[in-house]
């Protein structure tokens, strides 16, 4: 039996450890090959493909109504926003716009999704850094938001609520009342979050100055979302390229300059507050009217290329559709935020400790099905 | 001495001894039988204790994590841990193909044996101590440091990279924190002038050391709690098993009863360090006495000594559990920084101050 090989110890004495595909902190089936010098990380190489479902290829055989729902299975924590991106692209191709009511509903749903996603991320970050308790607090709050989703969309995680031309059905009569209650509660609970984790000395030690990503690197790796904004890159699509009614709401783009794990953490914590403020602005201002624009039974996009980008909880999601005029897309390509953010991991983790790698992975908020489509 | 009111176990043990002497005759055999009996009682006690601690940990965790915890098996879920043990008993104990089988199977036993050995000099109640050895404290700190051998053995023999990393971490961690523990124990030894557990308890007759010893003893108490949490590998110092980093650390490859042994040793260790902290700093079984207030001391004597001991011990256990469920985990270099740059210098200076205090007689 050959005991030592290149996969155990390299010639220059580096210890090779495979983190994943089944590992508690890779949040799914990410496989990281890590070259270690003692505890210090020499090199990290992500290996992908464990959860590849060829969603892009599948979409070529699905109608323009159906292919949207495959995207709920990509970044499952922002299913609404993914669906919205696809719906917006198809609407662009058709040259229609969702009615005002649908647009506001979309915005509310997207911000609720973002809030829930960040809450889950907060819990998981605590878990990865060894504090188990935040996880339960995060799930308690997220559960309330999922309850709202369930009432209106009929599903909790993969909502499939967006259709070309609007939303699938009108909001539940309880929606506004419940959302207000949940938002009120979330505001109170955010203070708890800070008390439990943010101010903790050990937490600050674990995250400050760890996994620093400079502004230039963030741009060159194509990082987006809070990961890039923590490095000082202003890249919020909601601000720069507003879609829906984002140009009608007031919110701040949270930018920090440090670029370390703590900055990414604080960035997301502040984004939660922004999402709450957006929801508060719009929850009483849902216009009356149709929730869906009339579209043909079989949607056919004119020949051409269509691109739409949106801001998901993790960053910029781009949907690129090539149409040859048929009832299903000729080619679909998603620019997913997780993939680009992951590419910076190896750079950030160099010279860090194993514990830091976990902290970095937690703060760039990876969702593996988003990386592997 | 106001001992008459206390429930004493000495009459019970004396009766058993008398009965055995009548039955067997030869004192050597009597001693042997008594040792075996004590061992069986201790093992039984420890198993029950770890059941209880397991249940307590789950309930404490549940309380802090806004959930209910076990509530299905038995009244309020109290039998859950027994169901879990039965499950572990029936599980297959896998041994990896490439593992060093002898060491792999030996490691859990070493862990449990060292954990149980430390119990010997602990006084559970008045006149209820297995072995009042004259070098009590020294014995405790030397035997408990043997646990690292079990961890290193488990990590090395598993032939698993995570296990090895976990074991190496624990090697550095336990050896470092051993020093702070030793120094904080020494501060009490200086004040008492004895290593014997019974002497230390008796020296707290007119007040526990944590009250009598001013700030320096309070500091050594805090250092002892921090360092012993690190020594028994509990969060926030659970780097050896660091679930999110090393999956299971040194016991990744263990399953079934062998895994249960590690769990058992963890809970025994938790009890042992809390018991030692309670004995040394909080007076062990000694009721709350204040020098000079005779009537108050008399009233306190009405509470049985075993209750005092277990009350203090479980209070400390609760504190250790409390910060397990509150704090994130330290990183390996920060862990060693904490010991070598903060705890060790502080405890060294602290020992000097305590020595001065003992010489000048500044303590109460």
Q: What is the pLDDT along chain B (364 residues), one digit of tens a residue?
A: 344 444 556 777 778 888 888 888 788 888 888 888 888 888 888 888 888 888 888 888 888 888 888 888 888 888 888 888 888 888 887 888 888 888 888 888 888 888 888 888 888 877 777 778 888 888 888 888 888 888 888 888 888 888 888 888 888 888 888 888 888 888 888 888 888 888 888 888 787 888 777 788 888 899 999 988 888 888 788 877 776 777 777 888 888 888 888 888 888 888 988 998 988 888 888 788 777 777 877 777 777 778 888 888 999 999 888 888 888 888 888 888 888 999 899 999 999 988 888 888 777 6
Burial B217-246 (b: 16+ CB within 10 A, else e): bebbbebbbbbbbbbbbbbbbbbbbbbbbb
Nearest CA to CA, how far is A154 from chain B (Å)?
A: 26
**Residues of chain B contacting residue A356, judged by C-beta atoms under 8 Å apart:** 331
Query: Quick check: B245 and A355 CB within 8 A?
Result: yes
CB–CB of B165 and A39 under 8 A?
A: yes
Predicted local distance difference test score (pLDDT) of residue B364: 67
Interchain CB contact of B199 with A (< 8 Å): no
Contact B212, B290 (CB under 8 A): no
Check residue A197 and give its pLDDT: 86
Residue B213: burial class (beta carbons within 10 Å; 0-12, 13-18, 19+): buried
The residue among A132, A134, A188, A262 with the most chain B CBs within 10 A of its CB, best to mutate, is: A132
Q: Count of CB atoms within 10 A of residue B35's CB? A: 12
- Structural tokens at position A59: 């979409």
Write the DSSP symbol of residue A76. Answer: G
Q: In sequence order, what are the beta bridge partners of A43?
A: A35
The dihedral of CA A204, A210, A211, A213: what is its sign? positive
- The 10 Å CB-count burial string (b at 16+, else e) for B264-296 is bbbbbbbbbbbbbbbbbbbbbbbbbbeeeeeee
Which residues are within 8 A (CB) of B5 and not within 5 positions of it... i.e. 6 or more apart? B298, B301, B302
* CA atoms of A236 and A228, how far apart (whole Å): 10
Handedness of CA B209, B211, B216, B221 (dihedral sign): positive
Q: To the nearest whole number, what is the mean pLDDT of chain A?
A: 87
pLDDT in tens, A109-160: 999 999 999 999 998 888 888 888 888 998 888 889 998 888 888 888 888 8
Whether residue B15 lies within 8 A of chain A, CB to CB, comes out as no
* C-alpha closest to that of A251 among A271, A227, A237: A271
B68 in contact with A, Cβ within 8 Å = no
Q: What pLDDT band is residue A6 in, cutting at 50, 70 and 90?
A: low
Instruction: Please list, in sequence order, all residues whose beta carbon lies within 8 angstroms of the beta carbon of residue B267, skipping any fewer than 6 positions away.
Output: B49, B50, B53, B54, B57
Average pLDDT over residues A174-189: 89
* Among A46, A39, A64, residue whose Cα is nearest residue A328: A64
Please list, in sequence order, all residues whose beta carbon lies within 8 angstroms of the beta carbon of residue B64, skipping any fewer than 6 positions away: A133, B322, B325, B326
Query: How is the beta sheet containing A316-323 ordered, strand by strand?
Result: A304-311, A316-323, A331-335
d(CA B56, CA B51): 9
* Distance from C-alpha of B55 to C-alpha of B60, rounded to nearest angstrom: 9
CA distances, B241 to each of A111, B177, B235, B248, B329 (Å): 38, 17, 10, 5, 11
**Residue of B65, B173, B331, B336 best to disrupt the A interface, most CBs of A under 10 A:** B331
Interface touch A202/B325, C-beta < 8 Å: no
CB A339 within 8 A of CB A373: no
Contact B326 A196 (CB under 8 A): yes
Q: Which of 23-62 (A) contact B at CB < 8 A? A: 23-25, 36, 39
Residue A193 touches chain B, beta carbons under 8 Å: no
Q: Could you read off the pLDDT of A269-284 as tens digits, one per residue?
A: 999 999 999 998 888 8
Residue of chain B minimizing CA distance to A135: B65
Quote the tokens at residue B223.
Answer: 């250092």
Query: Which residues of chain A does B65 touch, with a Cβ-Cβ cutoff of 8 Å?
Result: 132-133, 135-137
Q: Looking at the partner chain, which of B65, B67, B235 has a beta carbon nearest the beta carbon of A130?
A: B235
Residue B349 is predicted with a pLDDT of: 92
For residue A254, what is the DSSP state?
Answer: P
CA distance B203 to B123: 14
Q: Are A145 and A112 in contact (CB under 8 A)?
A: yes
- Spatial CA neighbour of A318 closest among A329, A332, A328: A332
- Between chains, do A130 and B61 touch, taking CB under 8 Å as contact? no
The pLDDT of residue A90 is above 80: yes
Q: What are phi and psi of A43, to 5 degrees?
A: -160, 145
Contact B314, B149 (CB under 8 A): no
Is B326 touching A (CB cutoff 8 A)? yes
Q: How far is CA B333 from the centre of its chain?
A: 26
**B325 and A127: CB-CB below 8 Å?**
no
User: Which region, left, alpha or beta, applies to residue A209 given φ > 0 means left and ψ of -120 to 50 means alpha?
Assistant: left
Q: What is the ipTM of this complex?
A: 0.81
Of the candidates A54, A130, A180, A73, which has an alpha carbon nearest to the alpha carbon of residue A358? A130
Contacts of B64 in chain A (CB under 8 A): 133
DSSP state of A71: G
For the record, the structure tokens of B298 come out as 């008399």
Question: Given this model, what pLDDT does residue B5 score?
Answer: 43
Asked if the Cβ–Cβ distance from A130 to B334 is below 8 Å, we say no
Nearest-Cα distance to chain B for A124, in Å, is: 10
> How is residue B182 written in tokens?
């030793």
Contact B238 A128 (CB under 8 A): no
Residue A372's pLDDT is what? Answer: 85
Both structure tokens of A42: 């020499």
SS3 B274: helix
**pLDDT at position A5, please?**
62
Cα dihedral B312, B318, B323, B326 in deg (nearest 10): -150
CB A12 within 8 A of CB A312: no
The residues near B88 (Cβ < 8 Å, ≥ 6 apart) are B256, B257, B259, B260
- If you write DSSP's letter for every residue of B85-154 in order, what string do you get? HHHHHHS-----TTS-HHHHHHHHHHHHHHHHHTTTT-EEETTEES---TTHHHHHHHHHTTHHHHHHHH
The verdict on a CB contact (< 8 Å) between B244 and A131 is: no
* CB spacing of B329 vs A130 below 8 angstroms: yes
- Given a contact cutoff of 8 angstroms between Cβ atoms, the answer to whether A101 and A175 are in contact is no
CA closest to A7 among chain B residues: B161
Q: How many CB atoms lie within 10 A of CB B131?
A: 13
Query: Is B14 in the A-facing interface, judged by CB distances under 8 Å?
Result: no
DSSP H/E element including B328: none
Cβ-based contacts under 8 A for chains A and B: 88
Chain B neighbors of A197, CB-CB under 8 A? 328
pLDDT for the residue numbered A4: 58
What integer pLDDT is reported at residue A253 of this predicted model? 87
Query: Residue B166: its chain A contacts at CB < 8 A?
Result: none
Q: Which two tokens stand for residue A350?
A: 């160099």
């Amino acid at each position: 039996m050959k005991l030592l090989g290149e996969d155990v110890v390299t010639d220059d004495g580096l210890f090779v450890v495979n983190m994943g595909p089944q590992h508690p902190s890779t949040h799914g089936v990410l496989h990281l090959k890590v070259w270690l010098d003692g505890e210090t990380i020499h090199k990290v190489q992500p290996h992908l493909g464990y959860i590849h479902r060829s969603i892009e290829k599948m979409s070529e055989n699905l109608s323009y109504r159906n292919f949207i729902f495959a995207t709920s299975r990509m970044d499952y924590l922002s299913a609404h926003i993914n669906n919205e991106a696809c719906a917006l692209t198809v609407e662009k191709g058709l040259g229609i716009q969702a009615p005002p009511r649908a647009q506001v509903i979309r915005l509310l749903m997207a911000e609720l999704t973002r809030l829930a996603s960040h809450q889950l991320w907060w819990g998981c970050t605590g878990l990865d850094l060894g504090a188990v308790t935040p996880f339960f607090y995060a799930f308690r709050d997220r559960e309330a938001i999922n309850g709202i989703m369930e009432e209106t969309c009929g599903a909790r995680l993969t909502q499939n609520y967006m259709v070309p031309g609007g939303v699938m059905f009108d909001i539940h009569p309880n929606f506004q009342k419940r959302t207000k209650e949940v938002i009120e509660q979330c505001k109170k609970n955010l203070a708890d979050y800070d008390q439990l984790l943010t101010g903790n000395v050990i937490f600050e030690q674990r995250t400050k100055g760890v996994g620093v990503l400079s502004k230039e690197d963030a741009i060159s790796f194509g990082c987006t979302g809070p990961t890039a904004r923590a490095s000082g890159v202003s890249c919020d699509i909601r601000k720069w390229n507003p879609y829906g009614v984002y140009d009608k709401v007031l919110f701040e783009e949270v930018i920090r300059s440090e670029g370390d794990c703590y900055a990414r953490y604080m960035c997301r914590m502040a984004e939660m507050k922004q999402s709450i403020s957006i929801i508060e602005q719009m929850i009483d201002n849902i216009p009356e009217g149709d929730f869906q624009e009339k579209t043909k039974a079989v949607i056919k996009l004119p020949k051409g290329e269509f691109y739409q980008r949106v801001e998901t909880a993790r960053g910029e999601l781009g949907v690129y559709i090539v149409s040859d005029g048929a009832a299903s897309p000729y080619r679909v390509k998603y620019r997913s935020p997780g993939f680009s953010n992951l590419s910076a991991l190896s750079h950030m983790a160099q010279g860090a400790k194993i514990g830091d790698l976990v902290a970095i992975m937690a703060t760039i908020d990876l969702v593996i099905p988003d990386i592997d489509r | 001495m106001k001992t008459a009111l206390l429930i004493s176990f000495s009459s019970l043990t004396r009766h058993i001894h008398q009965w055995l002497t009548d039955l067997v005759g030869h004192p050597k055999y009597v001693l042997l039988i008594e040792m075996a009996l004590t061992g069986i009682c201790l093992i039984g006690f420890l198993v029950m204790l770890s059941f209880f601690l397991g249940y307590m940990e789950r309930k404490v965790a549940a309380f802090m994590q806004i959930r209910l915890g076990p509530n299905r098996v038995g009244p309020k879920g109290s039998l859950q841990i027994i169901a879990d043990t039965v499950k572990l008993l029936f599980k297959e104990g896998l041994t990896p193909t490439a593992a060093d089988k002898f060491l792999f199977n030996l490691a859990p036993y070493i862990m449990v044996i060292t954990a149980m050995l430390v119990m010997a000099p602990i006084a559970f109640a008045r006149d209820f101590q297995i072995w009042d050895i004259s070098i009590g404290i020294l014995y405790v700190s030397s035997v408990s440091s043997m646990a690292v051998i079990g961890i290193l053995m488990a990590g090395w023999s598993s032939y698993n990279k995570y296990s090895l990393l976990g074991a190496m971490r624990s090697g550095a961690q336990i050896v470092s924190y051993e020093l702070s523990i030793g120094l904080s124990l020494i501060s009490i030894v200086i004040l008492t002038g004895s290593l014997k557990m019974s002497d230390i308890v008796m020296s707290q007759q007119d007040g526990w050391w944590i009250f009598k010893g001013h700030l320096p003893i309070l500091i050594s108490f805090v250092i002892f709690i921090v360092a012993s949490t690190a020594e028994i590998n509990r969060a926030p110092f659970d780097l050896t098993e660091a679930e999110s980093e090393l999956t299971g650390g040194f016991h990744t490859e263990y399953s079934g009863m062998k895994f249960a042994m590690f769990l058992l040793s963890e809970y025994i260790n938790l009890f042992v360090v809390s018991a030692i902290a309670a004995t040394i700093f909080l007076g062990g079984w000694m009721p709350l006495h204040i020098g000079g207030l005779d009537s108050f001391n008399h009233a306190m004597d009405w509470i049985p000594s075993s209750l005092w001991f277990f009350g203090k011990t479980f209070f400390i256990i609760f504190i250790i559990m409390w910060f397990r469920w509150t704090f994130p985990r330290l990183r390996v270099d920060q862990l060693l920084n904490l010991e070598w740059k903060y705890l060790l210098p502080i405890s060294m200076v602290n020992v000097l101050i305590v020595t001065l205090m003992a010489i000048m007689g500044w303590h109460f």
